[in-house]
Amino acid sequence: MDYESFEHDVLVIGAGGAGLRAAIEASTAGVSVGLVCKSLLGKAHTVMAEGGMAAALGNVDDRDDWTVHFADTMRGGQYLNNWRMAELHAQEATDRARELEAWGAVFDRTKDGRILQRNFGGHKYPRLAHVGDRTGLEMIRTLQDHGIHQGIDVHMECTVIELLKDGDRVVGAVGYDRERGRFRVFTARAVVLASGGIGRAFKVTSNSWEYTGDGHALAYRAGADLMDMEFVQFHPTGMVWPPSVRGILVTEGVRGEGGVLRNSEGKRFMFEDIPELYQSSTATNEEEGWRYTQGDKKARRPPELLTRDHVARCIVREIKEGRGSPHGGVFLDIAWIKKRLSNGEEHIKKKLPSMYHQFKQLAGIDITQEPMEVGPTTHYVMGGIRVDADSQMSTVAGLFAAGECAAGLHGANRLGGNSLSDLLVFGQRAGKYAAAYAKEQIATRADADQIEAVARRALKPFECGSQGGGDSEGPYQVQYDLQDMMQAQVGIVRREEEIQKAIDRFGELRARADQVGVQGNREYNSGWHTALDLPNLLMVAEAVAKSAIVRKESRGAHFREDFLEKDAEQAKVNTVIRCGADGEMQVTQEPLSPIRDDLKRIIEDNK
């Protein structure tokens, strides 16, 4: 089998915020770094992040510090978070934000010239460093422009299909370049997975094409533990119309600037259902909510800025009970602020330029004049590869993970803004520890038999295609069927029987995926690429379903219609997934480690 070989000390798989930051850190530590990405450099899903990066800089409200950020993150995660990760994240996010500025990032400014911070759901004080509504682009571009001068070898448009192991250790990876379809073998002394999320397993999603759960599947097949896979975040506000844009994100920042949610009766339905945990910190009337968004420190947040899981469920309730908008959503209205601000129209265009542009261009709606129709969309996965909080190493030696594909920081529900800071904090740690680990390892050779097996499996769709002729099933239909099934059976509102229906179908879907055929040759063959993504999608979907069925309670983003309350016993466990010796998926529930007393006190003080 023909392939190109590359040797690096550290191999980073994924070039979004976490991957780039890890690669930069490893390179700074003096080891050789290879960075593999499925898309072109600088075009990872990170570009879509709009809201901002949460860091307790205290530039807008000096009452803020890391302890409050920590408490907010734990509360949002319903205390299922890895508290050590939450502690490190809150402490180190400020340094990472300032470092980004030192590398050329240009955030919006306060009046006295410091980094401006905005309000966001679940954060007590205005905490999100941002630039307009394109902070993700700013972050990835800054990292890219800094990273290209660090001597990192970038392998663009290259997809990894399997990790290589030597005994218990990960020692490299096999991939293919999308352009020519040639196989590439990477040997490395440490591997960092930074491959993002799993949104493409669902029909309505804000996630880009790349998000097929590759890192999760690679880690699982290499023997690593996955954790918290039942916690999939459905962002409350995605576009719903026209069909071609369904799922595309409408940033929480719209609500942060004063946008309100209304049902078909014109009522602000969020006021009717404020959870107990948040009652003391939420406004009780519209006036107070408005003042909060305009920076009044004595006001409390409007209910539209409660956590995403709660807002999403309220929206689903309104739609189900017949009070939704014409195309199956609810109304998000920012145009109304013109009644309060004399330059309202300009203000909206200035603070939310890409929202204005997106709605104008794709839906023909001017958000300064009329409300938007929005509804929940699959947005983020809190679960992922289980890692050690300090080093980001997984349960497999030599394999690290950071960013969305790693689990623990966000618990049962992620706060907006905490992902961009997550990428930098844990990307830096993964890079640092992967480099240190690599320095202590001897290089190994890749196992030719392992590589052969991987390559043979990868070429199977061409065999199926030529044997079956026009009769073999193509990969797209299998993908659509999986997406429809997950949307319906394992979506925002879950029930035992529905999830079981999904679990029962995985065998059939896997068999179909195994036999899909593609035509043509290996050069930029999108059908072939999709066929290769299918096993990963199926694996993560099954992990989500099997975790969702064992957690018999509702907590954070995981909502069980048949178990509406939180359960005290399950509050103390994480759901863990691993591959058994027989190749079958094993699901267990393992206890959280008890929280340190000083951190417990911080949480109590901030209640």
Partner 1 sequence: MSSATFRIWRGNSEGGEFQDYTTEVSEGMVVLDAVHQIQAEQANDLAVRWNCKAGKCGSCSAEVNGSPKLMCMTRLSSLPLDRPVTIEPMQAFPSIRDLVTDVSWNYQIKQEIKPFAPRQPDAPDGTWRMKQYDVERVQEFRKCIECFLCQDVCHVLRDHRLHDEFIGPRFFVYSAALEMHPLDTEDRRTELANDHGVGYCNITKCCTKVCPEEITITDNAIIPLKERVVDKMYDPLTKLLRIFRS
Task: List residues with catalytic annotation.
Answer: 235, 255
Nearer to partner 1, 187 or 208 (CB): 208
Q: How far apart are CA 330 and CA 324, in angstroms?
A: 5
Q: Is 346 in the site for partner 1 (CB under 8 A)?
A: no
For the bound state, the minimum distance from the C-beta of residue 440 to partner 1, rounded and expressed in Å, comes to 32
Enumerate the β-bridge partners of residue 184.
4, 175
Q: Choose among 447, 387, 446, 436: nearest CA to 9.
A: 436
For 589, the 3-state DSSP assignment is: strand
Binding residue for partner 1, selected from 264, 281, 487, 519, defined by CB under 8 A: 519
Nearer to partner 1, 41 or 573 (CB): 41
Q: Is 51 in the site for partner 1 (CB under 8 A)?
A: no
Binding residue for partner 1, selected from 7, 61, 65, 108, defined by CB under 8 A: 108
Nearer to partner 1, 169 or 349 (CB): 349
Single out the segment in contact with partner 1 by CB under 8 A; choices: 102-110, 301-309, 314-322, 448-456: 102-110
For the bound state, the minimum distance from the C-beta of residue 466 to partner 1, rounded and expressed in Å, comes to 13
* Cβ atoms < 10 Å from Cβ of 453: 14
Nearer to partner 1, 189 or 246 (CB): 246
Q: Choose among 50, 7, 52, 2: nearest CA to 32.
A: 7
Single out the segment in contact with partner 1 by CB under 8 A; choices: 148-156, 222-230, 277-285, 388-396: 148-156
Contacts of 357 (CB under 8 A, 6+ apart): none
Binding residue for partner 1, selected from 15, 86, 248, 409, defined by CB under 8 A: 248
Task: Kindly give the interhelix angle for 597-605 and 66-76, rounded to the nearest 10 degrees.
Answer: 90
485-517 burial string, b = 16+ CB within 10 Å, else e?
bbbebbbbbbeeebbeebbebbeebbebbbebb
Contacts of 159 (CB under 8 A, 6+ apart): 38, 175, 176, 178, 214, 529, 532
**Pattern 298-337, partner 1, x by CB under 8 A:** ----------------------------------------
Q: Is 589 in the site for partner 1 (CB under 8 A)?
A: no
Single out the segment in contact with partner 1 by CB under 8 A; choices: 3-11, 19-27, 81-89, 142-150: 142-150
Q: Is 151 in the site for partner 1 (CB under 8 A)?
A: no
* Cβ atoms < 10 Å from Cβ of 32: 19
Q: Is 209 in the site for partner 1 (CB under 8 A)?
A: yes
Count, residues in the chain: 607
CA dihedral 354, 358, 359, 364 (to 10 degrees): 130
- Ranges of H-type helices in 382-525: 418-440, 448-468, 475-489, 496-514
Q: Is 149 in the site for partner 1 (CB under 8 A)?
A: yes
Q: Is 294 in the site for partner 1 (CB under 8 A)?
A: no
Q: Is 444 in the site for partner 1 (CB under 8 A)?
A: no
Q: How far apart are CA 247 and CA 235, in angstroms?
A: 9
Nearer to partner 1, 208 or 554 (CB): 208
Binding residue for partner 1, selected from 8, 21, 43, 546, defined by CB under 8 A: 43
Binding residue for partner 1, selected from 31, 33, 36, 48, defined by CB under 8 A: 48
Q: Choose among 434, 425, 388: nearest CA to 18.
A: 425
Q: Is 106 in the site for partner 1 (CB under 8 A)?
A: yes
Give Cα 512 to chain centroid, integer Å.
Answer: 28
Nearer to partner 1, 48 or 330 (CB): 48
Q: How far apart are CA 297 and CA 288, in angstroms?
A: 11
323, amino acid identity: R
Binding residue for partner 1, selected from 7, 61, 476, 514, defined by CB under 8 A: 476
Q: Is 474 in the site for partner 1 (CB under 8 A)?
A: yes
Nearer to partner 1, 172 or 213 (CB): 213
Tokens of 456: 């043979």
Q: Is 507 in the site for partner 1 (CB under 8 A)?
A: no
Single out the segment in contact with partner 1 by CB under 8 A; choices: 139-147, 292-300, 365-373, 490-498: 139-147
CB 190, CB 165: distance < 8 Å: no
Binding residue for partner 1, selected from 28, 61, 84, 98, defined by CB under 8 A: 98
For the bound state, the minimum distance from the C-beta of residue 475 to partner 1, rounded and expressed in Å, comes to 8
Nearer to partner 1, 22 or 250 (CB): 250
For the bound state, the minimum distance from the C-beta of residue 222 to partner 1, rounded and expressed in Å, comes to 26
Q: Is 481 in the site for partner 1 (CB under 8 A)?
A: no
Q: How far apart are CA 217 and CA 143, in angstroms?
A: 27
Q: Is 113 in the site for partner 1 (CB under 8 A)?
A: yes
Enumerate the β-bridge partners of residue 346.
none
Q: Choose among 585, 424, 309, 435: nearest CA to 17.
A: 424
How many residues in the shown chain lie near partner 1 by CB under 8 A? 62
**Pattern 354-393, partner 1, x by CB under 8 A:** x--xx--xxx------------------------------
Q: Choose among 59, 50, 20: nearest CA to 131.
A: 50
Q: Is 77 in the site for partner 1 (CB under 8 A)?
A: no
Cis geometry, peptide bond prior to residue 236 (ω within 30 degrees of 0): no
Longest dimension (CA), the chain: 71
User: Residue 417 carries which DSSP code?
Assistant: T
Tokens of 14: 């994924």
Binding residue for partner 1, selected from 1, 102, 341, 511, defined by CB under 8 A: 102
CB 13, CB 173: distance < 8 Å: yes
Binding residue for partner 1, selected from 138, 225, 230, 422, defined by CB under 8 A: 138
Tokens of 172: 């490299």
**HSE of 374 in the Cβ direction (CA atoms, 13 Å)?**
35
Q: Is 202 in the site for partner 1 (CB under 8 A)?
A: no
Q: How far apart are CA 520 and CA 448, in angstroms?
A: 27
Nearer to partner 1, 344 or 527 (CB): 527
Binding residue for partner 1, selected from 210, 318, 333, 422, defined by CB under 8 A: 210
Q: Is 475 in the site for partner 1 (CB under 8 A)?
A: yes
Q: Choose among 161, 233, 154: nearest CA to 419.
A: 233
For the bound state, the minimum distance from the C-beta of residue 575 to partner 1, rounded and expressed in Å, comes to 31
Q: Which helix (H) or strand (E) holds 69?
A: helix 66-76
Binding residue for partner 1, selected from 1, 4, 242, 294, defined by CB under 8 A: 242
Q: How far apart are CA 230 and CA 412, in angstroms?
A: 9
Binding region for partner 1 (CB under 8 A): 39-43, 45, 47-48, 98, 101-104, 106, 108-109, 112-115, 131-132, 134, 137-138, 141, 145-146, 148-149, 156, 179, 208-210, 241-245, 248-249, 354, 357-358, 361-363, 474-477, 518-521, 523-528
